[in-house]
């Protein structure tokens, strides 16, 4: 199973540094955000890290 099959993306947002800074870390698990303009660009937010 792929990462995208196990994580439901959140609504699309334009991923900018300001948006990344405002998104809080999760208490457990991971959240997946899709970029509204750049197809295939995602932000994964976990308990200790945010990665693009």
Order the strands of the 9-13 sheet from edge to edge.
9-13, 31-35, 42-45, 50-51
Q: What is residue 6's predicted lDDT score, i.e. its pLDDT?
A: 62
How many angstroms separate the CA atoms of 21 and 5, rounded?
26
Count Cβ neighbours within 10 Å for each residue of 25-37 and write b for 16 or more, e otherwise: eeeeeebebbbee
For residue 38, give its domain range. 3-51
As for how many domains the chain has, the answer is 1
pTM of the predicted model as reported, rounded to 2 decimal places: 0.76
User: What is the pLDDT confidence band of residue 38, given thresholds at 50, 70 and 90?
Assistant: very high
How many angstroms separate the CA atoms of 40 and 22, rounded?
21
């Amino acid at each position: 199973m792929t990462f995208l099959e196990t994580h439901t993306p959140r609504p699309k947002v334009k991923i900018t540094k300001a948006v990344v800074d405002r998104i809080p870390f999760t208490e457990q698990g991971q959240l997946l955000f899709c970029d509204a303009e750049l197809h295939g660009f995602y932000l994964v937010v976990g308990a200790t890290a945010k990665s693009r």
